[in-house]
Amino acid sequence: MPYSPSGDWQFDIPTLGSKQLPPAARYVESLAHQGYGFEAAIADLVDNSIDAGARNVVVSFLRDGDRLVSLLVIDDGRGMDDAALDVAMIVGGREGYADGALGHFGAGLKAASLSHSGSLTVISRTKRSPATGRRWLTAQAQQDFSCDIVDPRYCQDLVDRYDGIIGWHGTIVRWDSVRAFDTVLSGQSDRFLNEQIEKLETHLGLYLHRFLARDDFHIDLVVEDVRTKEELDHRGVEPIDPFGYRVPGRAGFPRTYTAPIEGVGPVPLKAHVWPPRSQLVSYRGIGALADRQGFYIYRNDRLVQAGGWNGIRGAETHHNLARVSLDLPASANSVFSLTVKKDGVSVTPAFARGIEKAVDASGHSFTAYLAEAENVYREAAKRSVEVQRTSAVPPGKGVDPKLKRALRDELPQIEGADPITFRWETLPPELFFSIDREDHVVRLNKEYRSAFNSGRRAGANDAPVLKGLLYLMLEKNFRLGRSSAQRNDEMALWNSVLLSAARCELSR
C-alpha cells in the first residue's frame, strides 16, 4: 500500500518497526575523553564513597622509590557484592539513585577513571559478602566491553592491607597506568606530588566543604611507599567555605532573595557581600577572583558550580565581592541541567527572567543587591592604600594542614616555589635547628622533640606552634637565597635561645 502523508508534519514520518543498536565497544574511548580534570575525577570517586555511606575516605598515591605507580581511593562505605559490582562497572548500569544521592548519570566511576588511567580496578566487600573485584583495561574494553574478574585472594589481600580504613565493609578503587604519572621526569616526583596534592586538597575542600564541615566525615590524602607501606606524607582535607568570612562586607548580609522561576517555582538565593581585601583562602585561594563571583550552586549539599553568572551578566571586577548560594530543587525540572562532570549547571532563559524579578523580604531587588556589593568594593578602593604583605615561600611537609592553611590565608604565596619542609633529625647537641637553603629544609634536633609534644605521640606534623614560629622567622632565608652576616647572626641568636628554652622544658 503506498505511503500517504497524514497532513501533520510532526508525525509525518512512517516507520516499519524498530531494532536494537547497542553502542560499539569504541564507546569506551569516548568515555576517556570527557574532559575530566584530575581533581574533578577524584571528586567524582569521593561522591560514590559518600553515596555508599562512607565516613572516612583516603586518597593514596603509591610510589616505588622516585616512580609513581598507582592511585587508590579507599572508603569505609557499605561496599558491594558481586551483583552490585557488576552493575557499578556497566556504563549507565545504575538505573536509579536515592533522593539525596550525589550520583546522577551512572557513568562517573568509569568516565572519571578512564580519563586518567589505562586500568580501573574496583575491590569491595560488604558485611555479608567476601571481597570481590572487577577490572577494566581500557584497551580490552574498547574491543568488546569485557571486564576482568579479579582473583578473590588478591581482593582479600588488598582489603587486609587497608583494614584500618575498611574494617568490615568498604571499597577500593585502584588506578594503574595513570597518564599524569607517566609525564613526571626523573627526580621530580616530590615536586609533582606536592603540587598535585595541593590542587586536590583545594578542590575537594571547596566542592565538598559542606560534608567536610561535619564531624563524622573525613578525607585524607596520603603518599605511601608501595614496598615498605610507610606513609611519606599525610594531609587531612579541610573545608574551604566560599562564604567563610568572619564579618560581612556590608551590614545586613547575607540576605535571602526569592526568584520566581517558571517551571520550578520560588527559588531562594542567599546573597553575600565579602569583606574587601580579604586574604582568606576561601576568597583568594580558589582561582581568579573574576571567575569566583556569582552563583555557587549546590546539589544535595555538593557544590557543582563555583562562581559564574550563568549568562545573566558578565564578570566585572567591581562585583568580586558578590557571591550567591543556590540549592538546586530536589524535583526534576527543565530549567537546571547538571553537567556529567558536576562542574557547572546549564540554565534556560526562565532562570534569567526569575532573577530579574527576585526580591528579598523587604522588597529590595536582586539588582539592588549587586549595586550594594559594587559600592562596598568601590568604597574600599577609595580608602587608604592597602598594606601589601611580602609574598612568601609556601610551607610544605611536616606542617599541620590547619596551620598550613592559616599561613596561606595570611601570606600571599610565591607561585612555583619549592615549599619549606620541616624534619626532625639527629643534629649536633649545640644546634636546635639548621637550614638547607638548596633543598628548602628546616632540620630540627630530635633530641628536643619531646619538649614540644606534651607526652603526645610524635607525628610528621607535630609541634605546630614551634614550626609556625620558625616558619615566620626563617622563611626569608629561603626567599632571599644567599646568606648574609645579619641573617646568620639572627639564626645563631634564635638557635641559642631555643636551645636553652628546650633544655629548661626537659628539665622540669
Of 449, 393, 459, 461, give the one whose Cα is nearest residue 422.
461
Nearest-angstrom CA–CA distance, 393 and 472: 10
Q: How many residues does the chain have?
A: 508
Within its chain, how far is the Cα of 483 from the centroid? 38
Distance in angstroms (rounded) separating the CA atoms of residues 222 and 386: 39
Architecture of the domain made up of 27-236? 2-Layer Sandwich (3.30)
The H or E element containing residue 189 is: helix 189-207
Per-residue pLDDT at 285: 72
**Which cell is 109 given?**
566511576
CA distance 171 to 79: 5
What is the number of alpha carbons within 13 Å of residue 378 lying toward its C-beta? 9
Q: 33 Cβ partners below 8 Å, 6+ apart? A: 115
Q: What is the pLDDT of residue 20?
A: 62
Yes or no: say if 42 and 61 are a contact pair by the CB < 8 Å rule.
no
Q: Which pLDDT value is given to residue 176?
A: 94
Is residue 355 within 8 Å of 314, Cβ to Cβ?
no
Say what the pLDDT of residue 453 is: 79
Confidence (pLDDT) at 72:
97
First-to-last C-alpha distance (Å) of the chain: 106
pLDDT of residue 167: 87
- Report pLDDT for 407: 86
DSSP type of residue 103: -
Give domain limits for the chain.
Answer: 27-236, 255-378, 401-507
Phi-psi region for residue 363, left (φ > 0), alpha (ψ -120 to 50) or beta? Answer: left
Res 106: pLDDT: 54
Q: Which parts of the chain register pLDDT below 70? A: 1-12, 15, 17-35, 92-101, 103-107, 141-142, 341, 383-387, 455
> Which residues, 6 or more positions from 414, have their beta carbon under 8 angstroms from its beta carbon?
391, 392, 393, 394, 479
